[in-house]
Amino acid sequence: MNQWTMKPKRYVPDLRQLGALGDGNYQRLHKLRQLEADGQPVAEFELHREHQYLGRVRIEILQIARFTETLLLEQVHNAGRWLNNPQMTVRVYHDAKMAEVISCYRDRQIAPVNDYPNRYMHHPDEKAQVNSFLADWLDYCLRFGHLPMEHAVWTSGDCQN
């Protein structure tokens, strides 16, 4: 067989990487949610870098079960910074202390592995990529997040480490 007739190698998810992302995302979400721990099903905070408004992020509890929660995370206003506001449904596993993206944008479920090429041109490792994006987004929120003045006052410095 030559290089043109060889069957492509099937993608195998890196479970250590996915586990580390899930663990880290759980910790990041826990920090963010502690900052506005008033027991409400919806938490909102603003993103500011110095004096520049970067948008507002909303975390809504969609479902609560004994060991899990389902959250909707979305950037609801961005002052024209991004073309598409991030919007993700995240399942939080309190017993395992992990969080993973289960869908993003238009309620599209994310398969653990995608054949490639596929109808929607999803990457073989799309689940890992989306969870990695969530990690980056949550880090950004922890760094630049501020409660609106009508709530309480905390700054990005309060949520570091």
pLDDT at 135: 97
Does residue 149 sit within a domain? yes
Q: What range does the domain containing 134 cover?
A: 15-159
Does residue 3 sit within a domain? no
Question: Who wins on pLDDT, 53 or 13?
Answer: 53
**pTM of the entire predicted model:** 0.78
Does residue 6 sit within a domain? no
Does residue 4 sit within a domain? no
Query: How many domains does the structure of the chain reveal?
Result: 1
* Contacting residues for 53 by C-beta, under 8 A, at least 6 apart: 46, 47, 79
Does residue 2 sit within a domain? no
Hey, CA dihedral for 147, 149, 153, 155, is it positive or negative? positive
Which contiguous run of DSSP H or E holds residue 89? strand 87-93
CA-CA distance, 67 to 93, in Å (whole number)?
6
Does residue 9 sit within a domain? no
Q: Which residues pair with 54 in a beta bridge?
A: none
Does residue 10 sit within a domain? no
**Which range in 7-11, 30-34, 154-158 is most confidently predicted, on average pLDDT?**
30-34
Task: Say which range, 1-5, 23-27, 87-91, 98-102, has the weakest mean pLDDT.
Answer: 1-5
Does residue 112 sit within a domain? yes
State pLDDT tens for residues 50-84. Answer: 888 888 999 999 999 999 999 999 988 765 555 57
